[in-house]
Amino acid sequence: MKSLFAAATFTLVLLASCTPKATPVAQAPKSATSTAEQLAQGKTIFETACKRCHDLPEPTKFTSVQWVGIMNSMAPKAKLTDEQHQWVYDYVVSVKK
């Protein structure tokens, strides 16, 4: 009986260690009040870093929630710092239709 319990425990531990870890839910970057200078920096980064790989999307084409996913996907590819990520996000969601 002990060996059956030990085998079951070992199997559960093994399965638990092999399961994929939960991916954190994407959230909007924490938004502190952006200054005009930070928004200008965000625009510059958006126009240069993003343009290196593809045409620029129109900021008003996406909602702020959609931009969260886009930014979380693209910022690492563009090698943006957390601060730059925040500035670009703040810029794109500040553009009005």
Which of 84, 62, 66 shows the shortest CA–CA distance to 75? 84
Residue ranges of domains in the chain: 2-94
pLDDT score for 23: 46
Distance (Å, whole) CA 63 – CA 67: 6
pLDDT score for 34: 73
Distance (Å, whole) CA 43 – CA 56: 11
pLDDT tens per residue, range 47-81: 999 999 999 999 999 999 999 999 999 999 999 99
pLDDT score for 78: 95
Q: Examine the pLDDT at 84 and tell me if it is beyond 60.
A: yes
Band of pLDDT at residue 30, cut at 50, 70 and 90: low
